[in-house]
Structure 1
Amino acid sequence: MIAPAVGTASVPKGVRLGYGVGSFCTATFNGVPGLLLLFYMTNFLAVPPWLAGVVVSAPKVWDLLINPLVGRWSDRTVTRWGPRRPWLLAGACTLPIMFYLVFAGPPLTGVPAALYVGVCFLAAATAYALFEVPYKAMPGEMTNDYHERTSLLQWRMVFVGVATAISGVLAPAIVTSGGGEGTLGSYRTMAITISAILLLSMLGSFFGTARAPMTGAPEPDGGGWREQLAAIKGNSPFLWLTVLACVQMFAVSMMLAAAPYFATYTLGSASATQTLFAALVGPILLTMPLWVRVARRFDKRGAMLLAVLLFGGGTIAAMATPLLGPVWAHVTILLVGVGYAGLQLMQFSMLADVIAVDAAETGKRRAGVLTGLWTAIESGVSAFGALAFGIILSLGGFIPSEPSNPVQQPDSAVTAVLIGQTLIPALIIFASALITLKYRLTPPAVPAPSASE
């Protein structure tokens, strides 16, 4: 299938900046809970690892319902602010509060603590959907140019890198600032700080996209759920991209959930979480222009395959960490980070292409519905990464605890941490290479030169 390039609209730099800053929200909300929430529950609230995995996963399953609804509502929204921006503001007014409550640390342990965190995380996931679904729908409506969408999303990914580095390094640094694995008080301080970052980034994106061009289909889709799902069922690029994103984010989420355990029990230092995370996200800041050139040279599918090989190769190499030490671990995670940067950019650029093609072929504005379904399915599946890692810990005999009663983990639990951080994510990410081959959306064909030329 050929991606259209008609009616190309240039996106002003100010709008690119305003759009990109919203990635501080998306990167932070995905990164911090994915990195710290499972560890927080098992090591501070004495929640069994399998139950903690369920708590992390369950609100994401809720996304399967709420995200498509938000997407559909935003498609049908008609205001002087456009169809998407009112929803950005709604998310900005609710998510920071809900995020703080997740890590507020009430005087509860075990099952009651799990229930409290689960309810708060569910509310936070709902607030996040109000912002994230319309936000991801916007690039496909800003320009119809196949390669300019990649360039636009390069800006977004640079902000993702900055935001992920800040939140992924800052959040663990605040948590461990008092020494050791941290305290409930340090988690509350972290939650307040991250909530402030969320608020500023979401408001910045709302105001910064006020002059964003709108080149998508002029009318929202008036069909019901049955008609919309029927159309999506026949959208092969969308289906394969969704499957691809689900598989890849499942592996990424498992690695994020495993990172604090890997730092604590494999490297012997909880504070190593910060440097490992910096190694993972640092390449996002440095390699985006390179990935844009790779996508132009080998198309987005070729760039995705290269990214998969780098990510998987680095993950497999990290298995040797117990033998080769912390420096080796950081070098291999740096290689994973280069691949991760490519995965992220190609995923979002491909999604923007799918949205633009759908609008061109149907004459309907369904960016919200497509983005909502894609985000919901991807988020729901990726959430099982934490659940899968929690189950691996339980099978390895991991012992839950709280700061007042530290425990010595058995060797089987330490081995489970290593396997959950390296071998299993590597196998999953390599499987995504086969799925990438099924994605068929390509750039517009270049006209053959005439005989006179």
Structure 2
Amino acid sequence: MSLHRGTVARYAVGSVGTGGFGTLPGLVLVYYLTDTLGVAALAAGLIVTLAKVWDVVVDPVIGAASDRDRAAHGTRRRLMIVGGVLLPVFFLLTFAVPPSLGSLAGAVWVLVAFLCAATAFSLFQVPYIALPAELTGSYDERTRLLTARVVVLTVAILAFGGGAPALRGPVPDEHAGYLLMGAVAGLVLGASLLVAAGVEGRVRRRDPGRAADGVPQPPEVATPDGATPGVLAHYRAGLAVLRTSPPFRALLSAFVLQALATGTMLAGAQYVATWVLDDEGAVTFLFAALVGPAVVFAPVWGRAARRIGKERAFAVASGVFLVAAAALVVMYWSPGVWVYAVVAVAGAAYAGLQSLPMAMLPDVVSHDAVTRGPGRAGTFSGLWTAGETTGFGLGTAVLATVLATTGYVESRAEAVVVQPDSAVLGIVLAFTLLPAALVAVSLVPLRRYPLRRTDIEAAHTAARTEEHRA
């Protein structure tokens, strides 16, 4: 059964929030710490990394809580709504450090506020990722759903990555500029999350009482004595998923390595604009070059997946991205407008790196539900979100380590500094050859991904047969 266009649209709107929160902090937060608050590069990287490590701790718990909610109430939206309400508040506070605070106090402020913002985001993101496997059992409809999501995601990355820093620029006072950026971005993030939180309600109103076509429904989540599982049980469930699902291990490994690659590039984009292209505002054009082609090519990768399979299309997109990223190293010796053209090639491939693994994940979840029983979708999504945020967080740590190793000079707002050539070279390597190498390594686990269209269609048919028998 085809998904209604309204359902697809409402689900896709959530990617305004996921794209914005995934992009903006990675792009500007370390730069805000090093070049406005005067925090040393390693400490700035540690702050962002700690928030991502916290995600690894909390996401499996949120995933299990989301599974309990769906088993008890038939919906995952309660946690999604809480996340949508809290995220704008803590996102604003992250960029609201008073100018009078010293570097150490400012660093602590940002750490606490960003930890709270990351928790609020996870309350939405974890159940959001679990939904595609439950909204439809169709291999192609999931591709359609996730392709629409990635089109919106890429537009959101462009809007937040290019537009939000542009809000900061015209304001003479750097601190006030970041505060304005945080307020506007936070409101947009929250609105997007709250719109998407109602997508399950839309499905039920259109067809009350119907489960997603061919998707097994989860049993009640409880221990044998009827008690709610403890925290350790959530982590044991996560380890069990990793141990018993080879397709998930392969897909997650490839995705985390690529998140590390793109996270490193994302964190380095503002530094490339400032110190390589010699224009702080050039970050807007870098994002336009990256995301403009991605908007166009997301449907192209969807068509490629239908023709040659999602896993093969994913490998092709990865190869194109790898070559484009490696070619950008020439900017160290010869920066110029040609950089934007090569970034555009990477952007075309980036659409595939985003849409295809996300379209493969619900296939993994539904195949697991048929072969091992339902009820683990939240655990899968919790692990996936934890892996994604870990990759992006470690990307920031990689950049910060490179900056510190190559002698990057941090500064307070309005101060004028000159970076050594070694630091500029480090910025270029972190933006080009390091991500290319990580994507190359990601192709190794991707080759071990075993599911094909025939496997998913067979599982879908088996699920529908079992449903009709019941």
* Counterpart for residue 219 of structure 1: 218
2:138 to 138, 142, 145: 145
Cα distance in structure 1, aligned partners of 2:94 and 2:33 = 11
After superposition, what is the alpha-carbon deviation per residue over 1:133-166, rounded to whole angstroms, capped at 9, x for unaligned? 0001000111111122111111111110121111
The letter of the residue matching 1:366 is: R
2:350 to 340, 352, 370: 340
Structure 1 position 83, deviation (Å): 2.5
Q: Spell out structure 1 runs of 4+ moving beyond 6 A.
A: none
* Counterpart for residue 154 of structure 1: 147
The letter of the residue matching 2:288 is: A
* Equivalence map 1:75-224=2 (5 Å): 75-78=67-70, 82-106=74-98, 107-178=100-171, 183-212=174-203, 214-215=211-212, 216-220=215-219, 221-222=221-222, 224=233
* Counterpart for residue 5 of structure 1: none
The letter of the residue matching 1:392 is: V
**SS of the counterpart of 1:358?**
helix
Q: Tell whether the 8 Å contact from 2:126 to 2:378 is kept in structure 1 after alignment.
A: yes
The letter of the residue matching 1:98 is: F
**SS of the counterpart of 2:87?**
helix
Cα distance in structure 2, aligned partners of 1:11 and 1:357 = 20
The letter of the residue matching 1:192 is: A
The letter of the residue matching 2:359 is: S
* Counterpart for residue 319 of structure 2: 309
* Counterpart for residue 3 of structure 1: none
Gap runs ≥5 in structure 1: 1-8, 448-453
Percent identical pairs in the alignment equals 36
TM-score (ref. length: structure 2): 0.89
* Counterpart for residue 230 of structure 2: none
* Counterpart for residue 261 of structure 2: 251
The letter of the residue matching 1:152 is: L
Q: Does 1:48 align with 2:47?
A: no
**SS of the counterpart of 1:105?**
coil
**SS of the counterpart of 1:212?**
helix
The letter of the residue matching 1:406 is: V
Structure 1 position 222, deviation (Å): 4.0
**SS of the counterpart of 2:337?**
helix
TM-score (ref. length: structure 1): 0.93
* Counterpart for residue 419 of structure 1: 429
**SS of the counterpart of 1:401?**
coil
Q: Tell whether the 8 Å contact from 1:68 to 1:373 is kept in structure 2 after alignment.
A: yes
**SS of the counterpart of 1:326?**
coil
Cα distance in structure 2, aligned partners of 1:109 and 1:308 = 43
1:12 to 4, 7, 16: 4
**SS of the counterpart of 2:203?**
coil
Cα distance in structure 2, aligned partners of 1:227 and 1:253 = 28
**SS of the counterpart of 1:211?**
helix
The letter of the residue matching 1:59 is: A
* Counterpart for residue 462 of structure 2: none
Structure 1 position 171, deviation (Å): 0.8
* Counterpart for residue 367 of structure 2: 357
Structure 1 position 312, deviation (Å): 1.0
Cα distance in structure 2, aligned partners of 1:24 and 1:393 = 31
Q: Tell whether the 8 Å contact from 1:89 to 1:206 is kept in structure 2 after alignment.
A: yes
- How many residues are paired up? 437
Cα distance in structure 1, aligned partners of 2:294 and 2:343 = 13
* Counterpart for residue 6 of structure 1: none
**SS of the counterpart of 1:10?**
coil
**SS of the counterpart of 2:3?**
coil
* Counterpart for residue 32 of structure 1: 24
Q: Tell whether the 8 Å contact from 1:24 to 1:160 is kept in structure 2 after alignment.
A: yes
Question: Please, which moves more after superposition, 147-156 or 206-215?
Answer: 206-215
The letter of the residue matching 2:144 is: S
Structure 1 position 283, deviation (Å): 2.0
After superposition, what is the alpha-carbon deviation per residue over 1:208-228, rounded to whole angstroms, capped at 9, x for unaligned? 442236423223454644356
Cα distance in structure 2, aligned partners of 1:413 and 1:345 = 34
